[in-house]
Structure 1
Amino acid sequence: MGSLPRTALRHLKPARGCRCSQFGPRSIVIPSVRDRSFHSSSPQRTDGVFRALTEQRVRTPWIEAFRRQQKEQKDPSAAEEPQEVPKDRQLTPKRMNESYSSVVLPLAQDPWLLDTYLNSSGHIRLGTIFMDLDALSGIIAYKHTGDDVTTVTASCDRITIKHPLTEICDLELSGKVTYATGRSSLEISMQVARAPEAGKNTTDVDVLIDCTFTMVSLDPATKKPVNVNPLVVETPEEKQLFALGERNSKMRKERNKTALIKHTPNDLESDLIHAFWQKQLQYHDPYDDLRKPDNVHFMDTTRLQTATIMQPQNRNRHHFMIFGGFLLKQTFELAFTAAAAFAHAKPTFVSLDPSTFQNPVPVGSILYLTATVVYTDPPLIGPPGEEVDAESKYTRIQVRVESKVRDVEHGKSNPTGQFNYTFTVEKNIRVMPRTYQEFMMYLDARRRAEDVKQSLQEEGREVTPKMAEKSVTE
């Protein structure tokens, strides 16, 4: 195609305020510069992670950190400045409000920011909100511990929908340290709520999500746990939050003691395994008319896997490890996809159940994620003496996402975490295990489902599937 002469180009320039011009028989729309600003480099709009949170996480351009690493010939897994924790570090007790942090996402005001948070259906992508929550938890943790230590996410104890959003609005993310005894771990409680009007406070019905993260502080040089400042608990509300953190800590320890990796299933669970085995025999018995129903699917057929190279744009503040919020987003979206593929229906998020970050994920490594539907409620077979609603219109689906990492040369793999997501679908569908490993995954998921169901009922905030259908989130 030939080029136009300069005089012709000048004729194409619209008059002031005009947004279109004629070029031959077609109309060419020329966007006004007021519509979107131009930059010599792309603005710091990311896929999730609001800029105010990103600035706290990434403080040095990757090229500078990379060149410094090359110059000093440092181990890629080392922190930026691997000095030991000072011997005279002050561990005076701190108040909860000293670590309080909040940020407002102006989603209703800024359509370009909203653009990075929406899916194809116009719903808010919860994975991006989870990224922001993990970034905020880091800010809160360092407010409490100071910069002398390395603080990492050990587990996400729970993320639950409290009151579904029915319209796009500005969101306020806030939280603080609510449990710390002086040892290496601390619990951070956060919430996502409809941003209140100026001069007003957030009410309970405005809260979309609440969650708790457990962080652990390490010596930057030795990577061994170090003590942190204990909390001063003063008001009745603070005492209640601290007691909840203490309960969560005990529950984590109890789960570890009774984990199926260490102990055999209990009597009731053994009965369930036997009942499933008998059901499989019936499905394959030529003399039995019972056959596997169309709404029952074997667990191994629900599996989805991905492999992704870890890029430095998703690094944490220590440069050479991947930001935990990125893993939450990736695992959530794979779990959502697995639930949708399993049910052939749109899943609605219910909760992220207790999930662990086992090992860090280095920049440049290959991350492998495997999602499996491990439990459905109502189940195909219930415990002896317990009635199961076999005709239920809705089904809760629990998806387990396991992650492992290898270097690019594909050396030894290393497990990096396990994430447990629960969704609701408007479908009568069931999952069925048939190997011993699948039975253990099924029983572990069943335990989690029972714990979450009981705690939500105790707190009186069970979100019904009908309520969830109106939500503008995934």
Structure 2
Amino acid sequence: MLRAFFGRGFIVRGPINHTTKSLRFLSTEFKDTISKSDNSTKQNIPDFKSEMEHWEKMLKRYPVLPSETSSDISYYKKFDTLPESFETTNSKDQLVLKTISDSYCELWLPFRDAPSLLNQYVNQQGEIRVGKILEDLDRLAGAIAYKHTSDIDGQIKNLVIVTAAVDRIDIHEYLDSDCIYKASGHVVHVGYSSIDISLVLNKVLSTEEGSSEKPCLTARFTMVARNRDTGKAEQINPLMLSSEKERIAFKTSELIKREKSLLNKKGLEKTPPNFVENNDYNSSSMNKDFVWLDDTTMSSVHVCFPSERNIHHKVFGGFLMRVGHELAYANACMYSGANPISKSLDDFSFTKPVNVGSILRLTSQVIYSSDLDSTEQSHDDKHFQVSVKVDVLDPTKQTIETTNTFYFTFESNSPVRRVIPRTYDDMIKYIEGRRRSQIGSFISNAQQI
């Protein structure tokens, strides 16, 4: 059950009570070593193959024990056997007032000391696959949300948590394969049924490098709770703010929600491009060094197998993010003629669930790049945006339904040609990319308040 929800390689921590048939979490206190005298714990280590002897040497440095799986190593302390689905409570107990620290969870990715784990995250150039990190962040956000919505005994209530939207993901530092990373997060804002979660991926530094951790990635997820039986919005536990820092984070979330609401009201489906946007599009056509937007199209098709399902037997949202990023990265490589760096994932929503067995068609295009003479502070001539539209194909009904569109920003190591729309539809995509780039920059700046 633990791997069925959290996926592989997860360490989940946080102050919460637990029972035999409920989701369990480790305490928030992190110890630097494991005592050699803890014989009772060592008896729980499985009989590893020869290559697993390497992990024994690592136990002195991590507060967790390795457990053999079919293809990799998952890091967690001893848990009792859990069922393949959540045991939930149907009790009508009162809501529990939770603090921000109550929802804290963390995930360790010790790439430097775990070659088998690294093999799953590294690409052909020896770099960390950002798509795999996005997949893990979605799992971590789900763990945090379920933790906040649990009852006073630590049991999961009769509800379903789904990823509604990703507000913004910023990659601040290059992700090195010869490092140790820790992803952590907690709830920062709750509504009636919505949960805003702030995540950060830190590089764990050695004592010689000075400070203990260095932020490399920040993210904001919005999760929503639904009643398992009715599918309607379910009220969740309220959030108690105990410090000025927590109150600022709460207000920042409200500010971001207002700005996103204003952007949606000005969406191109409701309001046409304004004069400035039209003028920018028309003047951009004068640039000689350009590529037509529709010439940057790249697509792929995936069949959604049961291995990609979540605990609710729908396709895992993190899987969609991973395959979306991988297609966007391939397109970005072709467009820039090099290996670009992933910089951000802009605001998007999961509008419809994807069933196991669905056929996915992903369509990617480079939809926006800044002008060589641009004065925008958030971009320069090395940045460009790639969209990935995810369609669900139904072979029985012969229908096509769009579930969501991702917007990734990349940075090339040299100036790139400007992308130019050739048709009105392409112009709409171009302006939409520019607008999302602007709101993404606003969210990034707001999180630094």
> Does residue 1:249 correspond to 2:253, yes or no?
no
Contact 1:45-1:51 at 8 Å conserved across structures: no
What's 2:197 paired with? 188
CA distance in 2, matches of 1:142, 1:457: 28
Per-residue CA deviations over 1:27-81 (Å, capped at 9, x if unaligned) read: xxxxxx62358xxxx93446xxx7359x99x9766xxx9xxxxxxxxxxxxxx99
Residues 74-93 of structure 1 mapped to structure 2, 5 A cutoff: 86=90, 88-93=92-97
Q: Which residue of the partner structure matches residue 308 of structure 1? A: 302
Amino acid aligned to 1:270? N
Q: TM-score, normalised by structure 2?
A: 0.76
Tell whether the 8 Å contact from 1:163 to 1:206 is kept in structure 2 after alignment. no
What secondary structure is seen at the aligned counterpart in 2 of 1:108?
Answer: helix
Matches of 2:376 and 2:262, distance apart in 1 = 28
Question: Structure 2: which amino acid aligns with 1:347?
Answer: P
RMSD: 3.3
Structure 1 segment 32-431 matched on structure 2, within 5 A: 34-35=50-51, 43-45=69-71, 51=74, 86=90, 88-146=92-150, 147=156, 148-165=158-175, 168-181=178-191, 183-195=192-204, 206-276=214-284, 279=286, 293=288, 295-319=289-313, 321-378=314-371, 394-409=381-396, 411-425=398-412, 426-431=414-419
CA contact (8 A) 2:252 2:447 kept: no
Identity over aligned pairs, percent = 31
Higher-RCO chain (CA-CA 8 Å, sequence separation at least 6) = 1
Output one character per residue of 1:121-170: Cα deviation in whole Å (capped at 9) or x when no partner: 11111111111110011100000113221010011111101233456211
Residue 437 (str. 1) matches residue 425 (str. 2): yes
Question: Does the aligned pair in 1 maintain the 2:365–2:386 contact within 8 Å?
Answer: yes
| 8 Å contact from structure 2 (residues 174, 216) kept in 1 | yes
For residues 422 and 273 of structure 1, what CA distance do their matches in structure 2 show? 20
Letter of the 2:328 counterpart: A
Amino acid at match of 1:253: S
- 1:206 match: secondary structure: strand
Structure 2: distance between partners of 1:457 and 1:220: 37
SS in 1 for 2:356: coil
Letter in 1 for 2:402: P
Normalised to the residue count of structure 1, the TM-score between the two structures is 0.72
5+ residue gaps, structure 2, are 1-48, 54-67, 151-155
**Would the aligned equivalents of 1:399 and 1:421 in 2 still touch at CA under 8 Å?**
yes
Opposite residue 419 of structure 2, the aligned amino acid is V
Residue aligned with 1:441, SS: helix
CA contact (8 A) 1:193 1:202 kept: no
Q: Which has the larger radius of gyration?
A: 1
Quote the Cα distance in structure 2 between the aligned partners of 1:365 and 1:162: 35
- What CA distance in whole angstroms lies between the structure 2 residues aligned with 1:253 and 1:356? 13
CA distance in 2, matches of 1:115, 1:143: 30
